[in-house]
Amino acid sequence: MTFKVRSAIVICILLITGYIVFFSLDRLQEVPILKSLDELPKNIGEWELADRIYLKDEIVDMLGVDEYAEAVYTSPGKPAIDLYISYFNVLKEGKQFHSPKNCLIGSGSYLESAEVIHIPLDDSGNTVPVSFMVLQKGDTKQLILYWFHCRGRVVSSEYMERIYRIFDAIFKKRTDGAFIRIVAHDNDRDIRDTREMLTKFSHEVIPLLDLYIPGR
> What value does the mean pLDDT take over residues 84-90?
92
Instruction: List phi, psi (to 5°) of 195.
Output: -60, -45
Q: How confident is the model at residue 65 (pLDDT cuts 50, 70, 90)?
A: confident
Mean per-residue pLDDT, 38-59: 93
Q: What is the mean pLDDT of residues 150-165?
A: 89
Give 148 or 28, the one with higher predicted confidence: 148
Query: Cα–Cα distance between 157 and 129 in angstroms, integer?
Result: 9
What integer pLDDT is reported at residue 186 of this predicted model? 77
Given a cut of 70, whether residue 77 has pLDDT beyond it is yes
